[in-house]
Chain A
Amino acid sequence: MTSVSININGVQKTAEIADNTLLVDFLRTEARLTGTHVGCDTSQCGACVVHVNGHSVKSCAMLALEADGAEVATIEGMADADGSLGVLQKAFQEHHGLQCGYCTPGMVMSAADLLKTNKNPTDHEVREWLEGNICRCTGYHNIVKAIQSAAAEMRG
């Protein structure tokens, strides 16, 4: 067992964990933040995407100990302080960018990372960026629409 300390959505979480604990399992079982999903065993689906030190990564392909001392942002941190949905989340709701919702946390976290560096992406750039996020329901069109509408709103 090894001690790990990770700042999750602004709250420091310290625990003794087995070295082979995945970051996603740490988030879901230790921190009890079950918004981050696991959709595959092969690191291909992107349901588990979170931000580590500001950048999107697949939390199923990273050990919790690799994030020791880091800042992690999950879907739970995307809502505003009063619990109302953030801009991207609202846009997904508005544009019907989700059906079953399983892929949505990863989609939102991945999109949020894109919009940090590319404030005005083309549809093609959005689709390329979402290469690692698989959705079995929506057919992606409305996801792209939602992200574009959030991007426009963020540009003001």
Chain B
Amino acid sequence: MYAFEYVKPKDLDDAVALLKNHEEAQPVSGGQTLIPTLKQRLAAPTQLVDLKHVHGLSGVTHDNHHVCVGATTRHMDVEQSDILHHHIPAVAELAGQIGDPQVRRRGTIGGSLANNDPSACYPSAAMALDARIHTNSRMLMAEDFFTGLFMTALEEGEVITRVDFKIPARAKYMKFPNPASRYAMTGVFVAQFHDEDGVRVAITGASEDGVMRHHGLEAALNANFHADAVDAVAISADGLMSDLHGSAAYRANLIKVMTKRAVSAIQ
């Protein structure tokens, strides 16, 4: 690891000021991605600004239409949240499938969204549940937030503070985990709303551009919310990842299989 200074501000303004005043400062939350990255010397921040002690960034609340999850809320807290179990159990289940218990004990939703790993789980929930991602300075819809592989619309020094998931009528996340890393080889989040949003299908782990929606699957499921409706949808392998874990065609098939499993679980 390169040398850095570790700071743990208690208030959001101080955290943002530290990040803005030091060009090479970087936020750290659960550290489950960043610390391994630092160990490999793939990042060289001069300051690590720990967000875990910043007041008001952690916890789960809700209103009539959204469940709101603070950025430093850990995966295990999401997994065990009564509010999520009641309103969007699919999100609690998703969190419970991330990595292993020790990763879930420290990793946070804000870190996961900011990192936008193409195989991470949360980005699919954010896309399918039309999430609002709040930062210290603005609010972005999930669709505008994720901009590509490991890329987001966050600017230098901008900090995610909260995520609001829109409450669906029903939803399910189905993940085919990579047996070694536990990340998604392909994960599909299906949500059905009773308003103009209809059915939203978001896929992680498959596309070369990171998380994506699949309009073909959405149209088919809007017409008939049944696993059989998925059979007729052509899933193109164009733009899907090919790597040592699986070819693009294999991932295209996984999209179909995982979507069917998700829909059959809630149809």
Hey, which bits of chain A sit against chain B, CB under 8 A?
2, 18-20, 22, 41-44, 46, 49, 55-58, 60-63, 65-66, 110, 113-114, 129, 131-133
Could you say which of B4, B5, B102, B103 has the most chain A C-beta atoms within 10 Å of its C-beta?
B102
Within 8 A of A (CB), among B91-113: 99-103, 105-106
In the assembled complex, how far is the CB of residue B31 from the closest CB belonging to chain A, in whole angstroms?
Answer: 6
Give bound CA distance, A60 to B38, whole Å. 11
Query: What residues of chain A lie closer than 8 Å to B103, measured between beta carbons?
Result: 43, 58, 61, 132
Task: Give chain A's interface secondary structure class.
Answer: mixed
Q: Count of chain B residues with Cβ under 8 Å from any Cβ of A?
A: 26
Say if the beta carbon of B153 comes within 8 Å of chain A: no
Q: Could you write out 5 A-B pairs with CB less than 8 Å apart?
A: A18-B3, A19-B3, A20-B38, A41-B40, A132-B103
Within 8 A of A (CB), among B38-64: 38-40, 48, 50, 52
B101→A132 contact, CB < 8 A? yes
B5→A41 contact, CB < 8 A? no
With A131-B99, A131-B101 as contacts: A43 and B6 at CB distance below 8 Å: no
Within 8 A of A (CB), among B1-17: 1-6
Give bound CA distance, A18 to B3, whole Å. 8
Say if the beta carbon of B182 comes within 8 Å of chain A: yes
11 more CB-based (< 8 A) A-B contacts, given A56-B105, A63-B48, A132-B100: A19-B48, A22-B35, A41-B40, A43-B35, A55-B105, A56-B101, A56-B102, A60-B35, A114-B101, A129-B101, A131-B99
With A41-B39, A61-B31, A66-B50 as contacts: A49 and B102 at CB distance below 8 Å: yes
The residue from B6, B36, B100 contacting A41, defined by CB atoms under 8 A apart = B36
Say if the beta carbon of B181 comes within 8 Å of chain A: yes
Count A/B pairs, Cβ under 8 Å. 75
Query: What residues of chain B lie closer than 8 Å to A66, measured between beta carbons?
Result: 6, 31, 50, 52
Give bound CA distance, A114 to B101, whole Å. 9
Give bound CA distance, A2 to B50, whole Å. 15
Residue of A nearest to B40 (CB): A41
Query: What residues of chain A lie closer than 8 Å to B48, measured between beta carbons?
Result: 19, 63
Give bound CA distance, A129 to B79, whole Å. 14
Query: What residues of chain B lie closer than 8 Å to A114, measured between beta carbons?
Result: 101
In the assembled complex, how far is the CB of residue A110 from the closest CB belonging to chain B, in whole angstroms?
Answer: 7
Query: What residues of chain A lie closer than 8 Å to B152, measured between beta carbons?
Result: none
Say if the beta carbon of B242 comes within 8 Å of chain A: no
Residue of B nearest to A23 (CB): B35
Residue of A nearest to B181 (CB): A44
Say if the beta carbon of B32 comes within 8 Å of chain A: yes
Query: What residues of chain A lie closer than 8 Å to B2, measured between beta carbons?
Result: 20
Give bound CA distance, A19 to B4, whole Å. 6
In the assembled complex, how far is the CB of residue A136 from the closest CB belonging to chain B, in whole angstroms?
Answer: 13
Give bound CA distance, A73 to B51, whole Å. 25
B36→A42 contact, CB < 8 A? yes
Query: What residues of chain A lie closer than 8 Å to B5, measured between beta carbons?
Result: 19
Query: What residues of chain B lie closer than 8 Å to A57, measured between beta carbons?
Result: 102, 105-106
Could you say which of A41, A46, A63 has the most chain B C-beta atoms within 10 Å of its C-beta?
A63
